[in-house]
Amino acid sequence: MTPTSALVNKVWSFCHVLRDAGLSYGDYLEQLTYLIFLKMAHEYSQPPYNRNLGIPEGYDWLSLNSKTGAELESHYVRLLRALGQEKGLLGQIFMKAQNHIQEPAHLASLIHMIDQEQWLVMEADVKGDIYEGLLEKNAQDTKSGAGQYFTPRPLIKAMVECVRPEPDKTICDPACGTGGFFLASYDFITDHDNYQLDRTQKQALKTSTFHGTEIVAATRRLCLMNMYLHNIGEIGGDVTVSLGDSLAADPGTRYDYVLTNPPFGKRSSITVTTEEGEQERQTFTYNRQDFWVTTSNKQLNFVQHIHTVLKTNGRAAVVVPDNVLFEGGAGETVRRKLLETTDLHTILRLPTGVFYAQGVKANVIFFDNKPAAKEPWTKEVWYYDLRTNSHFTLKTKPLTFEDLADFVECYKPGERHRRQSTWSEENPEGRWRKFTYDEIIARDKTSLDILWLRDKSLSDLDNLPEPEELAQDIIANLQAALASFEEIANGLED
């Protein structure tokens, strides 16, 4: 067991004590965020750093460490309230912070555990790996729903490897969750095998490269802390991850790259209170002049929003559910516009069983924005089918980067002109194949949902997948069908 994993287990093991006391995984992680941040600020104030990070006197780490019992609890509540009123990253992390640890003895034990570690002695990637490990454990708690904010890290790494973000550019994630795409991009750019950064570039990477939006306040807080532990952001600096709904309006800013996995769920809705005092959910649409079409389909709206915020020659890699590839009506309009105004050059069909959200059938679409032109920019779309005859489960066979290595090799990052199809009449099992713009535009509803591989499980009964894998496939198909039925039902109600 590595020192990092040992510390993750140590920190996480204390969660079980608080779990028995009624604290959820998410609440525990939130309290850890506050306390680790304060401990790091205290370490910065000591030699050899001697930095003043703006923590108000009387509300620092030492003030917590010197109290016990009811006095500790009441002081902790006052501390959270006071720090939430500060400016910069400090105030954003503690904004509307609350104490969810009701037993003072548990709070004191947690403080003692954190106090035993010297956090600044660890390298940024070690601190980050610890926090990332905790975020992943939190995502595994299916009841909390935290998994929807956690994209599998091997997939994120593969997407970043393909896009190859460069220094001195801007990177946006309009649904940034806990910041996974930012961290992978940071790791790629700081890798000496990719780039040699000067001091100005390192500072830009720390303060002005990454921009995001997260609609859930608690998740944004985790994102800010996750980035800070990876050496992104400064306590007194500007906060580049905003709280809000990305789809509400055109932000006006344009970015070089967009890497994102927008939240699953097709229709945008709000909860309203009726005249009888009862609450009900109602669908709504975003009426934006920059959108090609008005729809309540959240995924289609995110695709349109991403097109808007990209610079003229910006590049995007976006996780989308299957319905974005084949749905008619607004979906067809969005696909046609995407093929015309961008170079939609690559689609990766993802296997089931790789997301913490059950039953997800998703893809990654890669496209480059282009200036206005008379002719469509997309000439051909390359597909990599990692779904057919592939079986993954979160517990027994999780997705690894090695599973995506062949796709990255076929993608030819930075050398797309050298792509070679692995499919042919002689090799019908090839997973990598291209289709021309004319072939796609001639398909019913301009469907991008193209299959060519034979599903072996339908004919080879002697080599069926494991029961758990079959069960996961059945769940995925049933939930996808249920989502389609719900969409039809909602449409009838509109």
pLDDT, mean of residues 358-381? 93
Range in 182-186, 228-232, 247-251, 276-280 with the lowest mean pLDDT: 276-280
Query: Which residue would you say has higher pLDDT here, 37 or 308?
Result: 308
How many domains is the chain partitioned into structurally? 2
If asked whether residues 306 and 455 sit together in one domain, one would say: yes
What pLDDT sits at residue 19? 73
Residue 9 lies in a domain: yes
If asked whether residues 317 and 448 sit together in one domain, one would say: yes
Last residue of a domain, one of 90, 105, 132: 132
What pLDDT sits at residue 205? 96
What pLDDT sits at residue 145? 47
Q: How many CB atoms within 10 Å of residue 440?
A: 19
Residue 125 lies in a domain: yes
Q: For position 376, which CATH number holds?
A: 3.40.50.150
CB 245 within 8 A of CB 212: no
Query: Which residue would you say has higher pLDDT here, 290 or 394?
Result: 290
If asked whether residues 123 and 259 sit together in one domain, one would say: no
Residue 58 lies in a domain: yes
Q: Give the whole-angstrom CA distance, residue 419 versus residue 366.
A: 15
What pLDDT sits at residue 102? 85
If asked whether residues 271 and 394 sit together in one domain, one would say: yes
If asked whether residues 347 and 478 sit together in one domain, one would say: yes
| pTM score of the predicted model | 0.84
pLDDT, mean of residues 350-367? 84
Residue 438 lies in a domain: yes
Tens-digit pLDDT profile for residues 409-449: 999 999 999 999 999 999 999 999 999 999 999 999 999 99
Query: Which residue would you say has higher pLDDT here, 46 or 484?
Result: 46
What pLDDT sits at residue 150? 67
Residue 128 lies in a domain: yes
Q: Give the whole-angstrom CA distance, residue 360 versus residue 387.
A: 12
pLDDT beyond 80 at 472: no
Tens-digit pLDDT profile for residues 52-93: 778 888 999 999 988 999 999 999 999 999 999 988 888 898
What pLDDT sits at residue 269? 47
pLDDT, mean of residues 368-393? 94
In angstroms, the first-to-last Cα distance of the chain is 55
Last residue of a domain, one of 132, 162, 177: 132
Q: How many CB atoms within 10 Å of residue 342?
A: 23
CB 183 within 8 A of CB 190: no
Query: Which residue would you say has higher pLDDT here, 284 or 304?
Result: 304
pLDDT beyond 70 at 406: yes
pLDDT beyond 70 at 473: no
Q: Give the range of the structural domain holding residue 482, as residue numbers without chain letter.
A: 245-493
Query: Which residue would you say has higher pLDDT here, 472 or 410?
Result: 410
Residue 182 lies in a domain: no
Residue 276 lies in a domain: yes
pLDDT beyond 80 at 130: no
Tens-digit pLDDT profile for residues 133-182: 777 776 665 554 444 556 888 999 999 999 999 999 999 999 998 899 99
pLDDT beyond 70 at 467: no
If asked whether residues 128 and 251 sit together in one domain, one would say: no
If asked whether residues 309 and 443 sit together in one domain, one would say: yes
pLDDT, mean of residues 265-279? 49
pLDDT beyond 50 at 279: no
* DSSP-H helix ranges across 46-123: 61-65, 69-83, 88-93, 104-115
What pLDDT sits at residue 274? 45
Chain centroid to CA 218? 14
Q: How many CB atoms within 10 Å of residue 10?
A: 13
pLDDT beyond 60 at 183: yes
Range in 18-22, 291-295, 402-406 with the lowest mean pLDDT: 18-22
What pLDDT sits at residue 368? 98
**In the chain, what percentage of residues exceed pLDDT 90?**
54
Q: For position 126, which CATH number holds?
A: 1.20.1260.30
Tens-digit pLDDT profile for residues 197-238: 999 999 999 999 999 999 988 889 888 988 887 889 887 778
pLDDT, mean of residues 108-124? 82
Residue 187 lies in a domain: no
What pLDDT sits at residue 273? 44
Mean of pLDDT over the chain:
85
If asked whether residues 295 and 437 sit together in one domain, one would say: yes
Q: Give the whole-angstrom CA distance, residue 352 versus residue 151.
A: 13
Residue 235 identity: I
Query: In the β-sheet with 171-173, what is the strand arrangement from edge to edge?
Result: 241-243, 210-214, 171-173, 255-260, 310-321, 362-369, 342-349, 380-385, 432-436
Last residue of a domain, one of 98, 132, 166: 132
Tens-digit pLDDT profile for residues 315-351: 999 999 999 999 999 999 999 999 999 999 999 999 9
Query: Which residue would you say has higher pLDDT here, 101 or 278?
Result: 101
